[in-house]
Amino acid sequence: MLYLSKFASAAIVAISAALCLASPTEADAAMAKKKAKVSTARVAARNIKHIRSVDEVEPAHVSFGQMAGLHSTPDALSLKSGVALVLDQDTNEVLFSKNSQAVLPIASLTKLMTAVVVTEAKLPLDEALTVTQDDVDTEKHSRSRLKVGTQLTRGEMLHLALMSSENRAAHALGRHYPGGLDAFVAAMNQKAQELGMADTKYVEPTGLSSRNQSSARDLATLVKAAHGHQIIRELSTSPEYKVAIGNRQMQFRNTNMLVRNPTWDIGLQKTGYITEAGRCLVMQAQMAGRKLIMVFLDSAGSHSRIGDAERVRKWINETNPTANAVAVPKVTS
C-alpha cells in the first residue's frame, strides 16, 4: 500500500508538472504577449525608419524639369528629354524646339564656359597646377581620380575637364585664375552677358551646384562661341587621353560615347549630370550637309540623351527639314 501511495504521489507530481508545461500560467502568458508586442513594435519601427529614409531620399531623384512637368510636353519626335533645341549653326534657323526657354540646372555643361574663360584668358597651358583640398567636392561628394597633391599642366586639366568631365580639374582651373575663384566666376558671368545669355548664371566652374542654370537657347549660343576655339573643339571630342600622375600612366575616356561612333561627325560636345539637372548633352555636329547645334536637357534615363540625339539625326537625314518642316508644339517656359 505504501508503495502504491508513493507511486500515486509521484504520478500526480509528474502530471502536474506536465500540465504546467503545457498550460502556461497567466504570468507566463502575459510575458509572452508582451514579448510579441515588443517584437512587433521593433519590426514596425524598422519599417517606419525605412519608409522615412525612402521619403527623404526619393525627392532628390526628381529633377527640376520633372517637378515643373516638362516631360509631359508632347513633341513630334517623342524625345525623352524635357528640353530640346536643334538649330542651324550658320543661319540660326530653329529646326526643332521643346521647352527651349525653360531655365534649369545645367550640371557639367558649365565646363564649356569654364573652358571658354580659360582659353580666352590666354593663360600658359604648360603651367603646372596642383589639386588641393579646396578642389574636393563637398556638395555632391563626387569621386575623382585626381587625388589631392596631383600635379598636371593647365592644358591637361582643361583636357580632362572637357573630355571626361573631371570636376577637380575644372575647379583647379578656376582656382588658378588671376584673382582666384571669385574672379573666375565673375568672368564666367561677364562672358555670358557679353554673349547675350540672359537666362544664365554661374556660381562655380564645375556644374556640381544646381544654382548654375541656363536655357537651351543660351546654351546653343555658348556652343557656338566655344566652337570658335580650336582647342575646345579638339579636347572636347577626344575619345581618350593618358596623363602621367606620379609614376603611373592613367587613361581617361570621353563621357560621350558618340565621339567613338564613326557615323557621327561631331565638332564639339559636352555632357552633364546631377540629380537636379537630369542627363544633359550639347553638341555641334554635321549632318545632311549642315552644321547643327543640338541641346538636350533633363533627360531621365542614363542613355536617353544619346537616344534623343540619334532620333534627331535620323529625322534630319531623312527629311533635311527647314525651320517649318515639323509642327513643333508652342511651349511656354
Among 272, 218, 302, residue whose Cα is nearest residue 110:
272
**E-state strands within 254-303:** 266-274, 278-287, 290-299
Q: Is 111 a catalytic residue?
A: yes
Identify the burial level of 195 via C-beta atoms within 10 angstroms of its C-beta, where 0-12 means exposed, 13-18 middle and 19 or more buried. Answer: middle
Evaluate whether 174 touches 161 at the Cβ level (below 8 Å): no
Q: Which ranges constitute the DSSP H helices of the chain?
A: 2-22, 26-57, 64-67, 110-120, 154-163, 167-175, 180-194, 216-227, 230-236, 304-319
Query: How many Cα atoms sit within 13 Å of 135 on the Cβ side?
Result: 27
All cell numbers assigned to 167: 570636376
From the candidates 111, 191, 224, 270, give the one annotated as an active-site residue: 111
Structure letter (DSSP) for residue 329: P
Which residue among 108, 209, 236, 299 is the active-site one?
108
Could you tell me how far CA 128 lies from the centroid of its own chain? 29
CA distances from 33 to 20, 23, 29, 41 (A): 18, 15, 6, 12
Neighbour tally for 308: CB within 10 Å: 23
Report the distance separating Cα 300 and Cα 61, nearest Å: 10
The alpha carbon of residue 169 and the mean position of all alpha carbons in its chain are separated, in whole angstroms, by 17
Interior angle at CA 321, CA 319 and CA 326, nearest 5: 100
Q: Which of 63, 81, 97, 165 is catalytic?
A: 165
Is-contact 143 120, C-beta < 8 A?
no
Separation of alpha carbons 295 and 301, rounded Å: 16
108 counts as catalytic: yes
Q: What are the catalytic residues?
A: 108, 111, 165
